[in-house]
């Protein structure tokens, strides 16, 4: 347990310094990468929710009973999906800021 908490704390510090060390021009690619990481979390949570039969490990088991792990996996899928869609919306708005604005054609 101590090792897990230590790795978590180190990951917090590394993430903090990586994000704050990025120049403003690279924030959009950084947002795209975090969206990709969230999609990996969704895939892992889906596999955890349905259990190992989805991987073909135990073909005789068709349904998994509802337990704490499957409920937490379903919650993780929901929350990570919100994070992904919100991240894409924010990234799209950031990209709109870099498009040149069109001038009025009426001469004004």
Residue 41 CA, chain-centre distance (Å), reads 6
* Average per-residue pLDDT for the chain: 77
Residue 56 has pLDDT above 70, yes or no: no
Contact status, residue 53 vs residue 62, Cβ threshold 8 Å: yes
43: left (phi over 0), alpha (psi -120 to 50) or beta: alpha
pLDDT digits (tens, 9 = 90+) for 31-49: 777 777 777 878 877 877 7
Question: Residue 70: CB partners within 8 Å, gap ≥ 6?
Answer: 48, 49, 50, 51, 64
């Amino acid at each position: 347990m101590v090792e897990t908490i230590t790795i978590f704390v180190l990951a917090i510090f590394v993430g903090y310094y990586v994000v704050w060390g990025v120049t403003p021009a690279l924030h959009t690619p950084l947002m795209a990468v975090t969206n990709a990481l969230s999609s990996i979390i969704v895939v892992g949570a889906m596999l955890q929710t349905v259990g190992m039969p989805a991987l073909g490990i135990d073909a005789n088991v068709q349904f998994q009973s509802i337990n704490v792990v499957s409920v937490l996996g379903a919650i993780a899928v929901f929350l990570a999906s919100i994070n992904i869609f919100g991240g894409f919306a924010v990234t799209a708005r950031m990209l709109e800021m870099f498009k040149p604005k069109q001038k009025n054609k009426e001469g004004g």
